[in-house]
Structure 1
Amino acid sequence: MQSNTSRGGDASPMRPRKPHPVALSAALAAIGPLAGSAGTPYLPVVTGLTLDSRSVLPGDVYAAVPGATRHGADFAGQAVRAGAVAILTDEAGAAIVARAAAAADAAMPPVVVVPDPRRAAGPLAGVIFDSQPEGPGAAPTLFGITGTNGKTTSTYFLTALLAALDRTTGLIGTIEIRAGADAIPSALTTPESPQVHSLLALMRERGLDAASMEVSSHALEYGRVDGVRFDVAGFTNLTQDHLDLHGTMEDYFAVKATLFTADRCRRAVVLVDDDWGRRLAATADVPVLSLRTEPDAGAQPAADWTVTAVRPSGLGHAFTLEGRAGERLQVRTGLPGTFNVSNAALATVMVLASGVAVGELQHALDDHDPFTTEVPGRMQLIGEEPAAIVDFAHNPDALRRTLASVRRPGGRVIAVFGATGQRDESKRPVMGAVGARLSDILIVTDDDPHDEDEAVIRRAVRAGADAAIREEGLACEVLEVFPRAEAIERAVALARPSDTVLVAGRGHEVWQEVKGVNLSLDDREELRSALTRHGFSVLSRPGIES
């Protein structure tokens, strides 16, 4: 058996250049009960672990897990040819590997059978990659943010604030993965657990001071952060979304709450503007700093930190952040929307919770204006006259907050959005009603229909809008325009310089999935082009989207 001792920089941008060889038997012993008996006569020294047979490097463990249609063990031969020196799987996978080996009359590397290979993969990868060794300064300070809305912007705010404090940073999120200066587009909000651990090891190898990560409910449900322990975990809010996966809001909350346990984080910052946040702050079994950012959050007990004196500042807002012990911070965000006050406040308090002093933090805020950083596809300003904005709002609460924040004095709001196919159907008419209440012109169009009939999805959104107009006496004009590029064109054609055009739902995404085909579609580019064709100027230039 031969294992590599140096991975070239082009071998895998997600992996450290110098692996951490470890005896597989010792790594299995380190994860305890997750390994089960895991008895085999010989276990090699290994240098990596992956769930994807196409990503195997020499010296890897290939974790063959059950999939939706195929078992990962079906691809064990491919993994072995790529250099896998051991296979981690369940009883069913071991049987598949044995049959394939017999049929091919081929030798296979050791097969380690564990009760649940997906759940074992994360902690085992943590040991193999040595991603979070103990001891002060041994690994980057790790921040994780969960919640329905605001995760992406809050992680970008965290990254910008840490950079203002002269910390080198990494980022793992919906839009991109960064390890210092290197940026890589991301396909999942949170990558699979072995990739997360290899990224953390890469960041440690590069000497980064801190890293921020979005932690979705899917990541928690599917074990993508198993074996990861965050120094500070943050909670934004909980509103209707992903009920196609979780079933009920109670179950959705229960999954989110698993991040705020002692084996997953050391301390937490929780926004307590809603009942879910207050409940989480009261039940988390780690030290919690509570944060209140909305004055209409009800007559609730005082929070550890409170946002006060919110006032306009350019396109965004300035505000004061007051601590329970009398501390004060003056904070500003240049991004539109009062919800970005909440995102900026959360990032600030999370950095405080990591041990940064108030005075040092205030200097960074004053000198660098970190919360005016552009976040791709999140309240991204494309033009000013009319105000032309692209946002990721794709559930009722996010859409309500976004639409409520973009109206300008004397101007109309023209909104363009749809709903995603093969996702929570119950939110479609709710989103339509929200759009009708807060827009002057609502253009219902397609989002990502996936394999659903686009007309059926549009009809559900429009039904909610029409019902709200009829029952509440609203003056909103509703149009149904498709495909999406034509809907954006129509919105700009109807706009006057004093209006706001909001294109919501897809944000940074550059592909639209229709019946299994990915069509090139970037809302920002479509909006830029439409503005130019109609004689309006544009502001933003393509960045990560291209």
Structure 2
Amino acid sequence: MRPRHAVDRSLATIAATFSLVTSDVEGASPVSADATVRGVSMASDDVQPGDLFVAVPGARVHGARFAADAVGAGAAAVVTDAAGVAVLGDLVRRVPVLVADDPRALAGPLAAHVLGRPAERLTTVGVTGTNGKTTTTYFVDAALRAAHASTAVLGTVELRIGEDAIESPRTTVEAPVLHGVLALALERGATAVAMEVSSHALALHRVAGTTFDVVGFTNLQRDHLDFHGDMEGYFRDKARLFAPGQARRGVVVVDDEWGARLAREAQIPVESVATHVGDPAAADADWAVVSADVGLDGVGSTFVLRGPDGARHDAVSPLPGLVNVSNAALAIVLAHAAGVDLQVAIGAVATAHAIPGRMERVIERAPGRALALVDYAHTPDALVLALEAVRPITPGRLVIVFGSDGDRDRGKRPIMGEIAARLADVLVVTDENPRSEDPASIRAAILDGVRTVRPDLTDVLEVEPRAEAVRRGVALAREGDTVIVTGKGHEPTQEIAGVFHRYNDRDVLLAVRDESAGGHA
């Protein structure tokens, strides 16, 4: 996704602006006075004629290994580090090669410069945290839509400008892609953007070159420790978003110790939001949820939000559970901080559309039929919140179909099993994204946790493949029961042994529903 009308930028001016020098390899191609670029890319298969190709060190190979492909596709010049220059070989004599100490950190500012700094001409809201980023971002977008003629959403589910969307490759795209989407959003008339910002993105400079108008923090729970090392490292990377140059102001939910710490330590002006009714922290918070009623079947939750001036505002979360009261409250304050009238924001969030894979009701209750939902809960805390959210709307048994990711934090697997065994009635343990690991070993680790609550594995099934597990979960459910399928949410693929297979939990549930309807005809 790029703007159709790009502007040529002087390569010499770019080099001077960012203090880049040409390679000192003998015979290296110089930067001519009339050399120009019109785009930036970090992926050789995304290069368009006139691009500046930024080659960065990767986990396995250096991006400079793909520079020849990029030049073959029309790249006008290459930016890389000293290690990348050594990989380029004779290519340094064919195109200008500019050298930077940290090309990854520079990719965002370069893209912003080449594309005319599109973020500066948009109202930008970024949301980070472990759980609730997607839901909060969609709530914010609903509020922004009420005040702007056209908006964009960038996140885990999709990249959407107005009504046009494509599947998102990751929670936060690489910096050149980000600035390209922002420039395209401007070109198509959007004036505001809501965006998810992952901890990986912050650590890897994917939002470099963007200064958000407002940023929000949901919570910090155990996740991605394989990448960040420990919770302290995870927190430090999240906190990067709340720094001068990265954001102008912030809104922080202070329900956990990490949020309270972030509110204290942030280097930008911050408003605090307390969403746990009765929490002593609410007295000192700028905004606080002072009462909340979880809705019954088919209804969200109502709550009262107290503002900094003491005024109380009736509000609604369209999704069930106290976790979504927190998400809605944060979204309202974020939108208000971004310039949306408070009552307009409250009204828009109350009517927000269904969010793919987030407490998504796929099969509704009917005579002889259970309610079935899909939720992305893939961390221990998110699983607790999901099961606690659906229990009040479940007259009968709670049936969960779940697994855990491969090649990720192994320590959470038995924790997930213990939580499911404690909070659900019937468990169907299956595969999530095994990746390179043996799926059976992942399921075994989950079952170890299950046994701490149910030593004899009562009402516990182990079923694979995942589609069959979903079918089995629905078949086990009776009228009044709820089936919740967790872990993958909106994801359109399942990764097994390095291969991505098209798969979606919602699609399987819809197929089961349609088959059931056909059987009753």
Contact preservation (8 Å) 2:133, 2:196 = yes
In structure 2, the residue matched to 1:447 is 432
Residue aligning to 1:383: 363
Are 1:121 and 2:107 an aligned pair? yes
TM-score, normalisation: structure 1: 0.88
| d(CA) in 2 for partners of 1:234, 1:36 | 38
The correspondence for 2:412, drawn from 415, 418, 427, is 427
**1:327 correspondence with 2:290:** no
| Mapped contact 2:123–2:191 kept (Cα < 8 A) | yes
Question: Partner of 1:95 in structure 2?
Answer: 86
Q: Contact 2:55–2:63 (CA<8 Å) still a contact in 1?
A: yes
Q: 1:241 aligns with which of 223, 227, 232?
A: 223
The answer to whether the Cα contact below 8 Å between 2:140 and 2:331 also exists between their aligned partners in 1 is: yes
**2:13 matched to 1:26?**
yes
Q: How does 1:361-510 map to 2 (within 5 A)?
A: 361=345, 365=347, 370-385=350-365, 386-407=370-391, 408=393, 410-470=395-455, 477-510=459-492
Identify the residue that residue 179 of structure 2 maps to in structure 1: 197
Residue 399 of structure 2 aligns to a residue in which SS?
strand
Range moving further from structure 2, 162-171 or 278-287: 162-171
Instruction: Give the distance between the partners of 1:359 and 1:454, measured in 2 at CA.
Output: 49
- SS of 1:230's partner is coil
Residue 339 of structure 1 is aligned with which of 319, 323, 346? 323
Task: State the match for 1:55 in structure 2.
Answer: 46
SS of the aligned residue for 1:225 comes to coil
Q: Give the Cα separation in 1 of the matches to 2:231 and 2:458.
A: 30
**Corresponding residue to 1:355 among 339, 348, 352:** 339
In the alignment, the residues of structure 2 paired with residue 394 and residue 164 of structure 1 have an alpha-carbon distance, to the nearest angstrom, of: 32
User: CA offsets, 1:231-285, max 9 Å, x none?
Assistant: 0000000000000001100110010001000110000000011111000001001
CA contact (8 A) 2:294 2:322 kept: no
Question: In structure 2, do the counterparts of structure 1 residues 487 and 114 end up closer, same or farther at CA, with 3 Å as the change threshold?
Answer: same
2:271 is equivalent to residue 289 of structure 1: yes
2 CA distance for matches of 1:433 and 1:462?
8
Q: State the SS of the aligned residue for 2:241.
A: helix
Comparing 59-68 with 416-425, greater Cα deviation is found at 59-68
> What is the distance in 1 between the residues matched to 2:289 and 2:317?
13
Contact 2:450–2:457 at 8 Å: present in 1 too? Answer: no
Cα deviation, residue 484, structure 1: 1.0
Residue 17 (str. 1) matches residue 4 (str. 2): yes
Aligned partners of 2:195 and 2:301: how far apart in 1? 25
After superposition, residues 203-352 of structure 1 pair within 5 angstroms as 203-295=185-277, 297-299=279-281, 301-313=283-295, 314-352=298-336
Give the Cα–Cα distance (whole angstroms) in 1 for the partners of residues 119 and 169 of structure 2. 28
- The amino acid of 2:496's aligned partner reads V
**Structure 2 counterpart of 1:6:** none
Contact 1:440 1:475 in 2 (8 A): no
Rounded to whole Å, the distance in 2 between the matches of 1:379 and 1:133 is 31
User: Aligned-residue CA RMSD in angstroms?
Assistant: 2.2
| Distance of 1:337 and 1:475 partners within structure 2 | 28
In 1, Cα distance between the equivalents of 2:495 and 2:70?
Answer: 29
2:169 equivalent to 1:187: yes
Superposed displacement of residue 198, structure 1 = 1.2
State the distance in 2 between where 1:448 and 1:475 align: 24
Q: Is the 8 A contact 1:344 1:371 kept in 2?
A: no
Deviation at 1:287, TM superposition (A): 0.7
- 3-state SS of 2:273 partner: strand
Question: Which moves more between the two structures, 260-269 or 125-134?
Answer: 125-134
1:73 aligns with 2:64: yes
8 A Cα contact 2:277 2:291, kept in partner? no
Distance apart, 1:110 and its partner CA = 0.6
Contact 1:270 1:288 in 2 (8 A): yes
**Contact 2:278–2:290 (CA under 8 A) maintained in structure 1:** no
Structure 2 CA distance for aligned equivalents of residues 361 and 249 of structure 1: 33
Shift of 1:477: 2.4
Amino acid at match of 1:293: T
> Taking structure 1 as reference, are residues 330 and 167 closer, same or farther at Cα in structure 2, changes over 3 Å only?
farther
C-alpha displacement at 1:536, in angstroms? 9.8
Percent sequence identity over aligned pairs: 47
SS in 2 for 1:469: coil
Q: Which amino acid aligns with 1:224?
A: R
Q: Pick from 90, 108, 116 the counterpart of residue 130 of structure 1.
A: 116
Q: How many Å apart are 1:186 and its aligned residue? A: 0.7
Distance 1:225 1:133 in 2: 11
Check conservation: 1:36, 1:115, Cα contact below 8 A: no
For residues 133 and 360 of structure 1, do their structure 2 counterparts lie closer, same or farther at Cα, with a shift above 3 Å needed? closer
Counterpart position of 1:104? none
Distance verdict in 2 for CA 1:232–1:259, change over 3 Å: same
- Post-superposition shift, 1:300? 5.6
Q: Deviations over 1:74-117 (max 9, x none)?
A: 2222212221111111122222223457xxxxx51111111111
In structure 1, how many angstroms separate the alpha carbons of the residues matched to 2:478 and 2:41?
A: 53
Q: Does the Cα contact within 8 Å between 1:492 and 1:531 map onto a contact in 2?
A: no
Q: 1:443 to 1:344 in 2, by over 3 A?
A: same
* TM-score, scaled to structure 2: 0.92
Output the CA distance in 2 between the equivalents of 1:536 and 1:249: 50
Secondary structure of the corresponding residue to residue 458 of structure 1: helix
- Higher mean C-alpha displacement, 165-174 vs 451-460: 165-174
CA distance in 2, matches of 1:419, 1:344: 27
Q: Is the contact made by 1:22 and 1:128 (CA closer than 8 Å) also made in structure 2? A: yes
Q: Gaps (5+ residues) in structure 1?
A: 1-13, 102-106, 539-546
The answer as to whether partners of 1:493 and 1:534 remain within 8 angstroms in 2 is no
Residues 314-323 or 223-232, more deviating? 314-323
**Displacement of 1:357 after TM fit?**
3.1
Instruction: Tell me, yes or no, if the aligned pair for 1:390 and 1:524 is still in contact at 8 Å.
Output: yes
Query: Which shows bigger deviation, 319-328 or 378-387?
Result: 319-328
CA distance in 2, matches of 1:315, 1:133: 37
**Equivalent residues, number:** 507
